[in-house]
Structure 1
Amino acid sequence: MSGVGAWIRYGDPITEEQIRFAAEHYRAAILQPWELDAAAELKRQRPDMTVLCYKCFSSTRDYEPGPVYSSGVSYREAEAAGGQWFATRQDGSRIEWNGYRGHWQMNVWDSDYRARWVENVAGELAGSPFDGVMADNDVFDDYYGIRPPITAAESMADFRAALGTLVEAAGTALNSVGKILVPNIAESRREPGRWAAHAAYGGGFEEVWLGYGPENLFDPRTAEAQLPQADGPGLSILRVPTDGDDAHPNFTYGLAAFWIFGGGRGSYTATGHDDYSRTQHIAELDWPLGQPEGQPTAQGHVWSRAFSNGWAAVNFNQDGRRRRRVKVPAGLVDAAGQPAPQHLVLPPQRGVVYQRGQNH
Structure 2
Amino acid sequence: MNSTPVSDAMIKTEAKRRSHVVLNAWETELAKKLKAANPKIQTFVYKDLSSTRSYACSDGVDDADLPTGVGYCEADPSWFLNGPRGERFEYSGYSGHWQMDVGNPGYQQAWADNVIASSKAFDGVLMDNALFTCDTYHEGVCPPAYPTDEAMRSAYVSMLANTRQKFVDAGLKTVANLSGARLHEGAWDRYVQHLDGGFDEWWLTFGDRDLLSEYPQGWSRQLAEISANEAKGKITWVQPHHSGADQPFRYAHASYLLVAGEHSAITPVSRTDGYGDPAPWRAEYDWNLGAPLEKHHQVATNVYEREFRCGTVIVNANKTGSAPRVVRLNGRHIDEKGASVYFAAVAGTTGTVLRKPC
TM-score (norm 1): 0.87
Say if 2:54 and 2:72, in contact at 8 Å, map to a contact too.
yes
Written as runs of structure 1 = structure 2, the 5 A alignment for 1:46-61 is 46-61=38-53
* Matching of residue 157 in structure 1 with residue 150 in structure 2: yes
* Matching of residue 302 in structure 1 with residue 296 in structure 2: no
Deviations 1:108-130 (A, max 9, x none): 121111111111112223x32x2
Whole-Å Cα distance in 1 between the matches of residues 287 and 56 of structure 2? 39
Deviations 1:29-57 (A, max 9, x none): 11222211111111222222222111111
Identical-pair percentage: 28
Whole-Å Cα distance in 2 between the matches of residues 98 and 213 of structure 1? 22
Q: RMSD over aligned Cα, in angstroms?
A: 2.1
Q: Which residue of 2 aligns with 1:274?
A: 273
Structure 1 moving runs of 4+ over 6 Å? none
Q: Which residue of 1 aligns with 2:72?
A: 75
Whole-Å Cα distance in 1 between the matches of residues 81 and 246 of structure 2? 40
Q: CA, structure 1 residues 75+37, in 2 after alignment: closer, same or farther (shift >3 Å)?
A: same
Deviation at 1:223, TM superposition (A): 0.8
Moved more, 97-106 or 18-27: 18-27
Moved more, 325-334 or 104-113: 325-334
Moved more, 141-150 or 18-27: 141-150
Q: Which residue of 2 aligns with 1:197?
A: 190
Deviation at 1:290, TM superposition (A): 2.3
Deviation at 1:287, TM superposition (A): 2.8
Whole-Å Cα distance in 2 between the matches of residues 300 and 168 of structure 1? 40
Q: Which residue of 2 aligns with 1:95?
A: 89
Say if 1:283 and 1:335, in contact at 8 Å, map to a contact too.
no
**Count of residues in correspondence between the two structures:** 342
SS of residue paired to 1:75: coil
Q: Which residue of 2 aligns with 1:140?
A: 132
Written as runs of structure 1 = structure 2, the 5 A alignment for 1:113-192 is 113-125=107-119, 127-128=120-121, 130-141=122-133, 142-145=135-138, 147-192=140-185
The one-letter amino acid of 2:16's match is E
Q: Which residue of 2 aligns with 1:4?
A: none
SS of residue paired to 1:285: helix
SS of residue paired to 2:296: strand
Deviation at 1:150, TM superposition (A): 2.5
Deviation at 1:192, TM superposition (A): 4.0
Q: Which residue of 2 aligns with 1:227?
A: 223
Whole-Å Cα distance in 2 between the matches of residues 269 and 216 of structure 1? 18
Q: CA, structure 1 residues 124+262, in 2 after alignment: closer, same or farther (shift >3 Å)?
A: same
The one-letter amino acid of 1:259's match is L
Q: Which residue of 2 aligns with 1:256?
A: 254
Q: Which residue of 2 aligns with 1:324?
A: 325
Structure 1 residues without counterparts, runs of 5 or longer: 1-8
Deviation at 1:334, TM superposition (A): 4.2
Q: Which residue of 1 aligns with 2:239?
A: 239
Deviation at 1:143, TM superposition (A): 3.3
The one-letter amino acid of 1:119's match is D
The one-letter amino acid of 1:266's match is S
TM-score (norm 2): 0.88
Deviation at 1:319, TM superposition (A): 4.7
Q: CA, structure 1 residues 282+105, in 2 after alignment: closer, same or farther (shift >3 Å)?
A: same
Whole-Å Cα distance in 2 between the matches of residues 14 and 103 of structure 1? 27
Q: CA, structure 1 residues 158+15, in 2 after alignment: closer, same or farther (shift >3 Å)?
A: farther
Whole-Å Cα distance in 2 between the matches of residues 288 and 64 of structure 1? 45
Larger RCO (alpha carbons 8 Å, 6+ apart): 1
Whole-Å Cα distance in 2 between the matches of residues 43 and 196 of structure 1? 31
The one-letter amino acid of 1:143's match is T
Q: Which residue of 1 aligns with 2:343?
A: 343
Say if 1:255 and 1:285, in contact at 8 Å, map to a contact too.
no
Deviation at 1:194, TM superposition (A): 2.7
Whole-Å Cα distance in 1 between the matches of residues 100 and 275 of structure 2? 24
Q: CA, structure 1 residues 250+68, in 2 after alignment: closer, same or farther (shift >3 Å)?
A: same
The one-letter amino acid of 1:246's match is G
Q: CA, structure 1 residues 327+143, in 2 after alignment: closer, same or farther (shift >3 Å)?
A: farther
Q: CA, structure 1 residues 237+149, in 2 after alignment: closer, same or farther (shift >3 Å)?
A: closer
Whole-Å Cα distance in 2 between the matches of residues 49 and 58 of structure 1? 27
The one-letter amino acid of 1:333's match is I
Whole-Å Cα distance in 2 between the matches of residues 228 and 57 of structure 1? 24
SS of residue paired to 2:275: coil
